[in-house]
Amino acid sequence: MRVHNKILGGVLTAALATALTVTGAGAANAAATPLVFDVNGTFTDGGSARPVISDVNDVLTVDMSSQHRPTATGVVINSDTILVTFPDDATYTAKLQAPNTIRWSNGSTWQKLNLVRVPNVLDETKAAATSILTSAGLAVGTVRKVVDLTCNHNNTVSDQTPAPGTLAAPGSAVDLTIGVLPTKTPCP
Q: Is 18 helix (H, G, I), strand (E, B) or coil?
A: helix
- CA angle, residues 26, 28, 29, in degrees to nearest 5: 70
Q: What is the mean pLDDT of the chain?
A: 86
- pLDDT above 70 covers what percent of the chain? 84
For residues 113-120, average pLDDT: 92
What does the pLDDT average to over 97-105? 94
What integer is the mean pLDDT of 81-104?
A: 96
DSSP code, position 185: S
d(CA 38, CA 102) in angstroms, rounded, equals 11
Question: Domains in the chain, ordered, with CATH?
Answer: 2-27+34-112 (no CATH), 116-180 (3.30.10.20)
Q: Give the model's pLDDT for residue 30.
A: 56
Q: Which of 11-20, 66-75, 120-129, 160-169 has the weakest average pLDDT? A: 11-20
Q: Does 183 or 108 have the greater pLDDT score?
A: 108
Give tens-digit pLDDT for 27-74.
444 568 999 999 999 999 988 889 999 999 999 999 999 899 999 999
Distance CA 101, CA 26 (A): 31
- d(CA 36, CA 103) in angstroms, rounded, equals 13
pTM of the model: 0.59
**H helix and E strand count, the chain:** 2, 13
Task: Please tell me whether the peptide bond between 87 and the residue prior to it is cis, using omega within 30 degrees of 0.
Answer: no
